[in-house]
Structure formats: structure tokens, C-alpha cells
Amino acid sequence: MLNWLNFEAKVVVVTGGASGQGRAAVHQFAGAGAAVVIADLNVEAAEAAAQAVTAAGGRAVAVAVNVADEIEIETMVDTARDRFGRLDVLFNNAGIGFSARKRYTMASVVDTPADDWDSILAINLKGVALGCKHAIPVMLEQGGGVIVNNSSVNGITGVPGADAYTASKGGVVALTRTLAVEWGSKGIRVNCICPGAIETPMIAEALSDPAYAQSVRDDNPMKRLGSPDEVAAVAVFLASDAASYVNGAILPVDGGWTAK
């Protein structure tokens, strides 16, 4: 039987790979044999993640990346090709949310300053677009590749209170569909995952309130929060040969929250 989750000959770039869902994906891709480029704004944390992979016998390199900066995205893609010779998978995972509320307003569109709106969309949506823009030509040269974008349940449902975040994640969903249609015939699959409430540093502050944490669990059909590993496993599946006919999918990873 073929091992559909074998990434031994593949090179994977994970943005936001130093923590949370990104770091979980780094370890799962590396554990499946991939060489991994760990891109993150926090380069020290990215280097620590790379060291953990290499200590376990894997291949990884860290690169400092602000995903809203096109030059840094170009450097990220060049690093994959220069260090490992190719780029097979891009996991556009980097983004900001609740944990960034001290820097950017997470509120109704009425109460969101225009500069904050622009900054949130630059990171969450433009960052994904730039990753795709520079990865696709490399994948075309190779004859194919896979892009997995990380959106949110906010991108597919009406969740008021963080409208710039929600708009950015909805944009990721729409962009995924467009790219899947445009590039599928060229051997490039593009899919999107939409996590619900996941226990990551992004929402750790909110979950520190026991009453709020319990309310989130009670509101979920599975009566619990998800883990970074559970989200990462879906990203790895979509990037694998097991999902070879999956293109343009928008997949909730939310314990059934959006099914209600």
C-alpha cells in the first residue's frame, strides 16, 4: 500500500510556523519527511522550531518574514529553492486575530480606524496573496504544487465584533476559490481550512477566563476546543497525495460549530 502522507522528497513553506497551528504543522510535515522552511515575524522562535526539527533528524531552516512585505515573501520563496532546490507546498498560515487587539482594533466596521483596517487586511489577506503570487511561478516550473490557505470560521459565517478580521478571512476564502479554478489545470491545487476555536496563543488571553472558556466549549457540538495538531493534520492531508483530487475546498475544522 502506498504511503500517501510521505513528504520525503518535498519542500514545504509554513508561514507563521513558529507557534500555534503553524508550529504543529511544521513538526507534522517534518515528521512525514519534508524539508521545511519556517517563516515567521518572530525569527528567534522560528529558529527554535527549526532546531527542534533538526534535533529530531529532520530538515528545516528559519527565515524572518513579515507576510505583508513583498520583498520578504520573495526572500522566503527564494530560501526554499536555494536551500532545498524546490517548493512543493505552501501553507499560508500566518495571520493575526484576538491576540493583536492591543495593536489593532477588533471591533465593528463603524468603530475600526481605517489604518487598523488596512493593517489587518495587509497581514491576513495581502500576506496570503503575496505568498501565492511568488510560490505559483516556482510550482509552475516544477509542474505542480499545493497551496493550503488558513482562513477562519469567521470567513464563512456572520460573526460580528471583529469586522476587519472577518473581512480578511472571507477574502482568503474567495481568493482560494479563484486560484483553484485558475491554476488547477496547471497541476496546482489550492484549498482552504477554516478553524474554529482552537487552543493557541492567539486566544489564550480570552480562554484565561474560565467562564468564557466554558461557554465556548458549551457552544460547540463536540463540547471542547480544538488543538493546533488537529488543524495541522488537516493542512497536511490537503497537501498530501491523499487529497490529489481535492481542489478549491473550503473545509471547516471547528468541531461542527458551523453546522449548527
Q: What is the pLDDT of residues 199-243, one digit of tens each?
A: 987 777 777 888 888 999 999 999 999 999 999 999 999 999 999
Dihedral sign, Cα of residue 256, residue 120, residue 137, residue 3 = negative
DSSP for 217-236, written as a single string: HHTSTTSS-B-HHHHHHHHH
Q: Give me the sheet containing 145-150, strands edge to edge.
A: 59-64, 35-40, 11-15, 89-92, 145-150, 188-195, 250-253
Instruction: Tell me the pTM.
Output: 0.96
Q: What rounded mean pLDDT belongs to the chain?
A: 95
Number of H helices, E strands in the chain: 9, 7
Which helix (H) or strand (E) element contains residue 44?
helix 43-55
For the chain, the domains span 11-249
233 by Cβ neighbours in 10 Å (0-12 / 13-18 / 19+) ranks as middle
Give 32-43 pLDDT, tens digit per residue.
Answer: 999 999 999 999
Whether the Cβ atoms of residue 4 and residue 28 lie closer than 8 Å to each other: no
pLDDT digits (tens, 9 = 90+) for 148-204: 999 999 999 999 999 999 999 999 999 999 999 999 999 999 999 999 999 987 777
Nearest to 251 by CA among 191, 179, 207: 191
Q: Which fold has domain 11-249?
A: Rossmann fold (3.40.50)
Burial class (CB in 10 A: 0-12, 13-18, 19+), 114: exposed
Reduced to 3 states, what is the DSSP secondary structure of residue 15? strand
**Active-site residues: which are they?**
165
Q: CA quadruple 91, 191, 7, 228: dihedral positive or negative?
A: positive
